[in-house]
């Protein structure tokens, strides 16, 4: 991978959702690289934001609390930024079913606000956003490449696809320099740990650290392709730094593993917890997308990205973090 | 085609957007078949609604003016309906670019409101909705079947796709009996005739009737697949009447014709007007999707639909209508 880190020194970078999981990990990296980081967040309860996530870089970043849909705020905030990382919104497919209007606001309207405002006040900024595997729906073949049909089966996946289409439109018609990453299951430090809805891998880590029994639904053999958050934020820097990534979307992918084997590994690494395999409850089954394995050869060939952190190393690092900072996340 | 008309007698049918082009033509048919028709419309200026569209059936239909996004209104209106035809919203791709937030409200939020409310107060109703070719984006092959990739390139097409995904979701997860029709260019009586943005075929009919010169952009050879509105409303009745259409989407298609040949035919039929071929202005070119020809074999095989009205007959009938009722549309 080319060393692209130097380009961020003294550059202005806005991270929307910068107090959340991926956003705050990115903020740490950018602060370390000498970027001038502006975090924008509204800290909506239960959606992942946590002030402790910027512990250690508090004096190096600015935080602006606001509603990202307000175009007056936004014009001020987006102006003059070299990089805009848009990590706000929600990937919570359970709440999307229960309250589709809220998902529409937090996702479609919020991203549209950023794009429409950027097209007016800062059309030259590089803009990076993330969607996820939900936009593909149930895979018809594995691994899933960017060309796989996109037939999302639930509200959040439907909106992820809508959002990506927005970014492509603003690139094509308004010339914005947008790049999208389609994330798979991402785990690591600084995740929300108070309910299961924002990511099951992190939730299972919590349960195991609490010495609890994990319920794996189905047969335990379902494959999830998981990425450590440091590999994901590295990809974000990479696409931000490369001009030729503008107007493109890339899959990320990492370590495909069955849920049962993942839990076994967590039990082995911690010496804690247990698991039980049981049938899917109806409300989970209807949203289950089946096995997933990403084909990330496009970003590998074009930009040289590949995941650098092994599953063992990533899980150890994650476990250490939560053991140390449990009180801020539990 | 099976005769399905008898099933609508004394049935309750709600038509959202029932004062608009397709909605009002459907209202005429349903009223003639003895259905109890409730039209819901908000008559937003410039979006196609016209009170004259129900001339002749005024005493047979009820009209309720309201904002379809208000869930209190909607619960009252949807309750007890046997059929819900959802034809509100906009297919105007020009305004979608200029005001994407309005398109988001009129399309995504409005359809989501109907679905979410129906799932609570009337999950057994048969629900029919229409999207259009815009959701496919630029065709990569012709004719375009339902399996063609969906890569909409502008805001309205993006939202049409989002809406169709909503309907599929509410069918799959909430059991609603939804059927979608993907329309191609539709023309005929009762269309809005005061600007070009709601349908170029009808707009050209207006210009020719006014003895004006039509500007055809590009080379004039671009193919549009056009359907007379009576064939479209017939398809709507057909999918509404057939239980096995629930959860499905179907292409409609009709007479593929080049823009130049269409205009020539209009000039021949009316003895009026002229045309000039000229390059695409930038604001049109960027939204141009290229040739289109629908593969409608799915609805033909499964339900027996095919367009019955020839281009000549359809244009003659349309011209007669506007010559007679010009003052209500010009």
Cβ distance A153 to B159 less than 8 Å, yes or no, reads: no
C-beta neighbour count of B80 within 10 angstroms:
12
Strand locations in chain B (E): 12-16, 36-41, 61-65, 83-86, 126-132, 177-183, 185-187, 213-217, 223-228, 248-251, 255-258, 274-278
* A289: chain B residues, CB-CB within 8 Å: none
In sequence order, what are the residues at sequence separation of 6 or more whose Cβ sits closer than 8 angstroms to the Cβ of residue B315?
Answer: B187, B205, B265, B266, B269
Closest by Cβ to A112, choosing from B104, B166, B168: B104
Contact A165 B173 (CB under 8 A): no
Provide the residue ranges of all domains of chain B, joining segments of one domain with +. Answer: 5-192+228-253+293-308
> Is the distance from CB of A142 to CB of A81 less than 8 angstroms?
no
| Side-by-side strand order, sheet with B248-251 | B61-65, B36-41, B12-16, B83-86, B126-132, B177-183, B248-251
Distance CA B109, CA A101 (A): 7
Closest C-alpha to A167, from A135, A107, A132, A127:
A127
Domain covering B5-192+228-253+293-308, topology: Rossmann fold (3.40.50)
Check B172 against A155: CB less than 8 A apart. Answer: no
Ranges of beta strands (E only) in B55-164 are 61-65, 83-86, 126-132
pLDDT digits (tens, 9 = 90+) for B9-29: 999 999 999 999 999 999 999
C-alpha span between A83 and A30 (Å, rounded): 11
Decide if A155 contacts B116 (C-beta within 8 A).
Answer: no
Structure tokens at A126: 């590089």
User: What does CATH list as the number for A5-329?
Assistant: 3.40.50.720
CA distance B15 to B63: 10
Chain B residues contacting A via beta carbons under 8 Å:
97, 100-101, 104, 108-109, 112, 116, 149-155, 158-159, 161-162, 165-166, 168-169, 172-173, 286
Provide the token pair at B72. Answer: 């209190």
Q: With contact defined as beta carbons under 8 Å apart, do A267 and A228 qualify? A: no
The three-state secondary structure class of A93 is: helix
CA A157-A162-A168 angle, to 5 degrees, is: 130
Structure tokens at B147: 């399996």
Residues 6+ apart with CB under 8 A from B275: B213, B214, B215, B216, B220, B260, B263, B264, B267
Tell me which DSSP letter residue B104 carries.
I
- Written as tens digits, the pLDDT of chain A (330 aa) is 457 899 999 999 999 999 999 999 999 999 999 999 999 999 988 889 999 999 999 999 999 999 888 778 899 999 999 999 999 988 888 889 999 999 999 999 999 999 999 999 999 999 999 999 999 999 999 999 999 999 999 999 999 999 999 999 999 999 999 999 999 999 999 999 998 888 889 999 999 999 999 999 999 999 999 999 999 999 999 999 999 999 999 999 999 999 999 999 999 999 999 999 999 998 888 899 999 999 999 999 999 999 999 999 999 999 999 999 999 999
Q: What is the mean pLDDT of residues B21-39?
A: 98
The whole-angstrom separation of Cα B85 and Cα B179 is: 10
B296-329 as b/e: b if 16+ CB within 10 A: bebbbeebebbbebebeebbeebbebbeeeeeeb
Helix (H) or strand (E) holding B23: helix B21-32
Give the number of A-B residue pairs with CB atoms closer than 8 Å.
Answer: 64
Interface contact flag, A169 B162, Cβ < 8 Å: no
Cβ-based interface (< 8 Å): residues of A facing B: 97, 100-101, 104, 108-109, 112, 116, 149-155, 158-159, 161-162, 165-166, 168-169, 172-173, 286
Note the pLDDT tens digit of each residue in B133-169.
999 999 999 999 999 999 999 999 999 999 999 999 9
């Amino acid at each position: 991978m080319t060393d692209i880190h130097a380009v961020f020194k003294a550059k202005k970078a806005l991270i929307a959702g910068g107090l959340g999981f991926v956003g705050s990990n990115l903020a740490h990296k950018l602060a370390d690289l000498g970027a001038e980081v502006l975090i924008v967040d509204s800290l909506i309860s239960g959606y992942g934001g946590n002030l402790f996530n910027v512990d250690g870089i508090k004096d190096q970043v600015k935080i602006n609390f606001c509603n990202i849909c307000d175009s007056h705020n936004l014009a001020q905030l987006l102006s003059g930024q070299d990089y805009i990382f848009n990590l706000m919104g929600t990937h919570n497919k359970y709440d999307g079913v229960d309250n589709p209007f809220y998902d529409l606001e937090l996702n479609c309207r919020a991203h549209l606000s950023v794009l429409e405002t950027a097209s007016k006040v800062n059309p030259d900024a590089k803009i990076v956003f993330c969607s996820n595997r939900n936009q593909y729906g149930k895979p018809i073949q594995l691994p899933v490449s960017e060309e796989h049909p996109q037939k999302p089966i639930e509200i959040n996946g439907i909106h992820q696809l809508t959002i990506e289409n927005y970014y492509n439109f603003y690139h094509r018609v308004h010339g914005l320099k947008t790049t999208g990453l389609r994330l798979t299951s991402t785990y690591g430090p600084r995740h929300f740990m108070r309910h299961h809805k924002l990511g099951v891998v992190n939730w299972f880590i919590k349960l195991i650290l609490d010495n609890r029994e994990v319920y794996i639904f189905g047969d335990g053999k379902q494959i999830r392709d998981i990425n450590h958050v440091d590999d994901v934020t590295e990809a974000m820097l990479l696409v931000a730094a490369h001009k030729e990534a503008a107007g493109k979307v890339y899959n990320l992918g990492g370590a495909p593993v069955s849920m049962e084997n993942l839990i076994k590994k967590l039990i082995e690494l911690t010496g804690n917890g247990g698991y039980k395999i049981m049938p899917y409850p109806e409300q989970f089954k209807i949203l289950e997308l089946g096995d997933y394995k990403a084909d990330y050869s496009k970003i590998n060939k074009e930009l040289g990205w590949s995941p650098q952190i092994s599953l063992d190393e990533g899980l150890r690092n994650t476990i250490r973090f939560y053991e140390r900072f449990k009180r801020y996340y539990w």
